[in-house]
Structure 1
Amino acid sequence: EENKVTEEELDQIIEEAEKVEAEAQEVEAELEELGDETDAKIAQLEAALLSSEAKVKEQQDAVLRSKAEVENMRRRTEQEIDKARKFALNKFAEELLPVIDNLERAIQAADTENETVKPFLEGV
């Protein structure tokens, strides 16, 4: 008789088993909800990471373009300075041509035998 379980004890065991099962289902539901929240948070963080990586790439590209633009501007400026120097030198030489021509004509027209004119001719 000791091994015999009364109907009342059996009902009590079944009731406790049902409570344990209900608690287990609640815990399982909570874990599932936490898992869903975690998955959502992971997805959100992954999206933020992708967005940040894209922004970094855009900024790196912008920096490279800016560097190239500055280098091109520096090169163009150097070329313009060289052109300006050459133009200034050419203009100066062109302005000197009439003066040189006049001096050469003056030398040709001068009396090379005159002693007072010789020092002037040597200076020219």
Structure 2
Amino acid sequence: MDVEPAGPDPDRPRVGVRLGRIRHGTATAKVRNVVWSMGDGAQVTCTGPGTPYAAEFGKQMAPDCGHMYTRTSAQAPGGRYAVTATTTWEISWAGGGQTGTLTAIRESATSLAIGELQVLNVP
């Protein structure tokens, strides 16, 4: 499959598909959800793109998809939390007079050091 930008919506890239004898086709991929393993034992499932941070949020939790660490990563292996994001994609395709849907799962990983925490009084 070849991925090309679909325009302003990064969650819906266009994909050129070659399946067996089918030479031309199209596919549209959409993120169904992202499951974040935060490294501190917490898991967060996001079913939408989230809300970009805005200054008026202050120190509140993200309204729809967020996580707040409650301790530093000092005790984690290497002093860093291992964070993974597992994305489930739903792919609709058409080509050669046929249509169908596929599900693809992709995982990305990184690590994150949390070196300082501040106590917040959040109602």
TM-score scaled to structure 1, two decimals?
0.16
The TM-score normalised by the length of structure 2 is 0.16
Comparing both chains, which one has the higher relative contact order based on Cα–Cα distances under 8 Å and sequence gaps of 6 or more?
Answer: 2
More strand by share: 2
Which protein is richer in helix relative to its size?
Answer: 1
Larger Rg: 1
